[in-house]
Amino acid sequence: MDKIYILDASGYIYRSYFAIRQMTNDRGESTNALFGFIRSVIKLIRDFQPTHMVAVFDGPSNVQSRTALYADYKAHRKEMPKDLLPQILWAQQLCPLLGIPELMIPGVEADDTIASVAVWAAKQGATAYVCTSDKDLTQIVTDQILILNSFKENAILGPREVEEQYGVFPHQMIDFLAITGDASDNIPGLSGFGPKTAADLLKKFGTLDYILSHPMDIPGKKKQETLVAEKEKVLLGRRLVTIDTTIPFPKEISFFAIQTPFYERLREFYTYMNFSSLLREIEIHRKEEEKEVPQPHATKQTNYVLINDVDSLDALVAFLLTQTEICIDTETTDIHPLRAALVGIGLGVHPGTAWYIPCNGNMDKTLVLSKLKPLLENKAIGFYGHNLKYDLHVLKNHEIAIPHISFDTMLASYLLHSHSRQHSLDSLTLELFAKVKISFQELVGKGKNQLPLEKIAIEKVCEYCCEDVDYTMRLREFFVRKIEERGLHSLFYSLELPLLSVLAKMERNGIFVERSYLSDLLQQFEKQIYRLVEEIHQLADEKFNVNSPKQLASILFTKLGIRPPKKIASGFSTNAEVLESLKYEHPIAEKLLEYRSLEKLRSTYVEALLEDVHPRSNRIHCTFNQSVTATGRLSCQNPNLQNIPVRTPVGRQIREAFRPQLSNWNYLTADYSQIELRILAHLSEDPILMEAFLQNEDIHTFTASQIFNIHLEQVSKEQRTQAKTVNFGIMYGQQAFGLSQQLGINPKTAALFIEKYFERYEKVKKFIDASKEKAHQTGKAVTLRGRERLIPEITSSNVMIRSMAERLAVNTPIQGTQADLIKMAMLEIDRKLGERKLRTMMILQIHDELIFEVPDEELLEVKELVKNTMMTIFPLKVPLVVDIHIGKNWKECYI
């Protein structure tokens, strides 16, 4: 044994607990500390490849020996978080699975066990690496016992490094720690003696014993008096910080040898914890081992077939025309579907068998598509895939339109587990089948070595594509059963699946943007930004990089002498919150806020939007995501048109660039008025809230009159604003502190607002409490249409996580129902537009709002069609109200 790595497991897991927050498995159990611990251990093993190692944990009742000396030892420490103890126990279970020996000696703190092992190992002639960030263990450092801090880029501390860092040698660290004390362990030090004083004294006089026996040699009368008065206290502190190196433990070298991990049990452990990334690493490792050790007698369980000649293609098409359902996957040249060209198509009917037809092989692409078009456009055959919307676009690029969509495994995964973000084919295949698929990066390479897909060997693309088809078929079989078991059949087949085609149509429609207008706006913004930077430099009286937080902090808090309100790990914060608080202290703060706002609009919107315009259509074609938000809302990307600002004058300037492509067309926007509050009224059946909506009162003014106990006509603009904040805050579970921050009032006043709100709307309070209770009982929240959001965190022992889960339990039925209603409206409006053969295009959905591009002659008909459909799509106990706006550009719809 040349080297041994001694892991401060207790220290690692505590550090991970506070470094990673709010991470749980699908049962709501906290896993943050455990995940961080595993990652740290794996990194350590990868970086140093040890042959001998031990993970040391605190033993039970481990402080008894020191509390016998000093009853208040560690007395100030907060009680261990309830969700940390299970993770420590899991970490102890894990170490043997990783092949790592562990020590946990009853009645002994980890530091004492670590030190005892290190001293013993050094006597055996080995170099001991103590893996910790605990300064207490620096007292045992020698040329053979080193501290390895893997949290600081694997910094290694030997005797010289300890002296550089603390100003004393390792053998003086006990005295150093005794003098300075340790607040975290409640160890008393000498009053008024800090680290610099302690280091200077020990450097000059050598030992604490000498200092205590010669107090008059120490400069300063107060310090001399302290040394005399607190002598017994500091000697007690020295005994407390002295690490015991005589703890008994197994002293056979073989005990510390790292063993081969138990991969199958590790896989089960990671699956239970939902550690997908760690699962993937295990399967990749297993894959590599299988390559190294060939299995000549293994039976091949898959049949992946390359179709690369006309006869084979004809035979395949003839067979597939007899099927009722086919899985499809396309291989393309671009991640953006409307810019992508076909490289090949994968097809399958039953798991285990798949066919790949290249468009860059022996057959011409035109020939391949002419043979496949009658199959793919056959209305009697249902087609399914994973994220099928992408494939629909790619085929449409080649004049092929699939008329019958029967399933989508990504949508099914989302509907079953909307609380998860892992719906990719690779992650689902790994999670459900313990299969690591060929990754796209593995296929095409990365960085400078990456090749276009069409340049990759067809045989390799065949295997990659057929594997995708194969596991999509397996997922479909699994998800069909689960959807039925969970009672989600109607929601999936009558709402989410049909919506896929509507969203594809909207994406293909796109939205026109006036490029010349945006270009002019970009120049205007750049001039304003240049002028603002000059003004900021003048106020600072020097030029500096306004985008550098470090340089800005120096200007604000050093040169200009502004008092810094907030400190962060890297120095003083200069974020928007800080600058807002400094607006009245120095004019530079307001200019910086103005600069940041304008620069964000320039880079995030104006400049980016110009790049997003499709070269052929001259329109922007964003992507609507059905499987991202846990509430059922759609999200939007590439670009995110749901996030174009509307409230600021500059934001409205950007919206003015969006306009119909033809002059005799218009924009029509239709948005639900206060739909979430109306849903709250329906769900809670609060008579006062319902009456306000039935009487068509302005709900925020009405709430203000209730809270402040005044007549409607007496409500001021400020009171209405406060009531609006309360109305929406209640739905999102906002407490008094959060409300006080938002309104700029004290928490007591905010608490009074909430109290008065619930006095007036008693049944809203009952609904909130009932929603939380139901989630505690069932582990989920459900919308009016039956959409489920699993909330496993509702049972968490971590108060923050549990509180967040309770807020979700209240908000999900409201926001999720709103998402369901507008999706239902979109489906019905699309159907009616098609039935009437109208040219009107639905082009955007922004949560509770729909945007249409409408020709002049259809304007009145479409206005009535859209409004009536949205208002009657689902009966609530209060009326649904829809506001319609018409304009020649997007900005005009909000004037």
CA distance 529 to 551: 19
Q: What is the pLDDT of residue 63?
A: 57
Phi, psi (deg, nearest 5) at residue 671: -130, 145
Cα–chain center distance at 519? 34
Q: What is the pLDDT of residue 72?
A: 55
Adjacency order of strands within the sheet including 841-846: 841-846, 849-855, 665-672, 882-887
Q: Is 571 left (phi over 0), alpha (psi -120 to 50) or beta?
A: left
CA distance 37 to 88: 10
Torsion, Cα of 887, 633, 395, 325 (10° steps): -140
Domain extents for the chain? 3-256, 263-292, 303-442+451-486, 514-612, 623-686+766-895, 700-760
The mean per-residue pLDDT over the stretch 233-240 comes to 80
Q: What is the pLDDT of residues 563-596, one digit of tens each?
A: 877 666 556 788 888 888 888 888 998 999 999 9
Given pLDDT bands bounded at 50, 70 and 90, which one contains residue 657?
A: very high
Distances 594 to 520, 526, 585, 601, 603 between C-alpha atoms, Å: 20, 13, 16, 11, 14
Q: What is the pLDDT of residue 73?
A: 58
Q: What is the 3-state secondary structure (H, E, C) of 573-596?
A: CCCHHHHHHHCCCCHHHHHHHHHH
DSSP H helix total and E strand total for the chain? 37, 24
In the predicted model, is pLDDT for residue 299 greater than 50? Answer: no
Distances 786 to 423, 632, 789, 790, 813 between C-alpha atoms, Å: 21, 11, 10, 12, 9
The closest of 605, 377, 647, 626 to 497, measured between CA atoms, is 626
- With both helix axes pointing from N to C terminus, report the angle between 85-98 and 32-48 in degrees, rounded to the nearest 10: 30
Residue at token pair 């800080």: 578
Distances 783 to 110, 317, 886 between C-alpha atoms, Å: 50, 43, 32
- DSSP 8-state class, residue 674: S
Q: What is the pLDDT of residue 242?
A: 85
CB 234 within 8 A of CB 205: no
CA distance 435 to 427: 9
Count CB atoms within 10 A of the CB of residue 261.
Answer: 16
* H-only helix segments in 110-169: 110-123, 159-166
Which range, 197-211, 282-296, 668-682, 713-727, has the best average confidence (pLDDT)?
Answer: 668-682
Q: What is the pLDDT of residue 76?
A: 58
Phi, psi (deg, nearest 5) at residue 645: -65, 150
Distances 315 to 372, 382, 459, 467, 776 between C-alpha atoms, Å: 12, 20, 20, 22, 57
In the predicted model, is pLDDT for residue 534 greater than 70? Answer: yes
By CB atoms closer than 10 A (0-12, 13-18, 19+), residue 373 is: middle
Higher pLDDT, 561 or 818: 818
Given pLDDT bands bounded at 50, 70 and 90, which one contains residue 514?
A: very high
CA distance 359 to 835: 36
In the predicted model, is pLDDT for residue 22 greater than 90? Answer: no
CB 114 within 8 A of CB 56: yes
The mean per-residue pLDDT over the stretch 714-719 comes to 88
CA distance 706 to 505: 46
Q: Which of 666-680, 703-717, 853-867 comes out lowest in average pLDDT?
A: 703-717
CB 730 within 8 A of CB 716: no
CB 820 within 8 A of CB 784: yes
Q: What is the pLDDT of residue 51?
A: 92
Q: What is the pLDDT of residue 353?
A: 96
Task: Kindly state which CATH superfamily the domain 3-256 is placed in.
Answer: 5'-nuclease (3.40.50.1010)
- CATH, range 514-612: 1.20.1060.10
Given pLDDT bands bounded at 50, 70 and 90, which one contains residue 68?
A: low
Q: What is the pLDDT of residue 184?
A: 66
Task: Decide which of 3.30.420.10, 3.60.10.10, 3.40.50.10320, 3.90.1150.10 is the CATH code for 303-442+451-486.
Answer: 3.30.420.10
How many Cα neighbours within 13 Å face the side chain of 65? 17
Separation of first and last alpha carbons in the chain:
78
Q: What is the pLDDT of residue 106?
A: 87
CB 176 within 8 A of CB 199: yes
Q: Which of 289-298, 341-350, 642-651 comes out lowest in average pLDDT?
A: 289-298
The mean per-residue pLDDT over the stretch 711-722 comes to 87
Q: What is the pLDDT of residue 737?
A: 82
Tokens of 352: 């285990």
Q: What is the pLDDT of residue 567?
A: 62
CB 357 within 8 A of CB 373: no
- The sign of the dihedral angle between the CA atoms of 181, 182, 183, 186 is negative
Q: What is the pLDDT of residue 272?
A: 86
Higher pLDDT, 474 or 278: 474
Q: Which of 154-163, 186-195, 781-790 comes out lowest in average pLDDT?
A: 186-195
Q: Which of 380-384, 476-480, 552-556, 560-564 comes out lowest in average pLDDT?
A: 560-564
Mean pLDDT of the chain: 89
Residue at token pair 């080193």: 146
To which H or E segment does residue 4 belong? strand 3-8
The mean per-residue pLDDT over the stretch 439-460 comes to 91
CA distance 571 to 478: 52
In the predicted model, is pLDDT for residue 882 greater than 60? Answer: yes
Q: Long-range contacts made by residues 417-424, C-beta under 8 angstroms, separation at least 24?
A: 417/26, 417/790, 418/629, 418/630, 418/631, 418/632, 418/787, 418/788, 418/789, 418/790, 419/630, 419/789, 419/790, 419/791, 419/792, 420/26, 421/628, 422/276, 423/627
Q: Does the predicted model carry a pTM greater than 0.75?
A: yes
Higher pLDDT, 483 or 751: 483
CB 53 within 8 A of CB 258: yes
The mean per-residue pLDDT over the stretch 671-683 comes to 95
Tokens of 700: 């925020």
Query: What SS3 state is found at 313?
Result: helix
The closest of 647, 705, 653, 697 to 674, measured between CA atoms, is 697
Q: What is the pLDDT of residue 233?
A: 77
Given pLDDT bands bounded at 50, 70 and 90, which one contains residue 729?
A: confident
The mean per-residue pLDDT over the stretch 285-314 comes to 71
Phi, psi (deg, nearest 5) at residue 769: -65, -40
Share of the chain above pLDDT 70, in %: 95
Q: What is the pLDDT of residue 489?
A: 96
**Is 623-686+766-895 CATH 1.10.940.10?**
no
Tokens of 178: 């005794």
Give the length of the chain. 895
Q: What is the pLDDT of residue 496?
A: 97
Q: What is the pLDDT of residues 243-258, one digit of tens each?
A: 888 899 989 899 999 9
Given pLDDT bands bounded at 50, 70 and 90, which one contains residue 71?
A: low
To which H or E segment does residue 52 belong? none
The mean per-residue pLDDT over the stretch 457-462 comes to 96
Tokens of 742: 């938002």
Given pLDDT bands bounded at 50, 70 and 90, which one contains residue 708?
A: confident
How many Cα neighbours within 13 Å face the side chain of 883? 11
Distances 96 to 215, 379, 489 between C-alpha atoms, Å: 53, 57, 44
Given pLDDT bands bounded at 50, 70 and 90, which one contains residue 633?
A: very high
Contact partners, residue 282, CB within 8 Å, separation at least 6:
263, 266, 267, 270
Q: What is the pLDDT of residue 82?
A: 82
CB 356 within 8 A of CB 305: yes
Q: Which of 148-152, 420-424, 634-638, 851-855 comes out lowest in average pLDDT?
A: 148-152
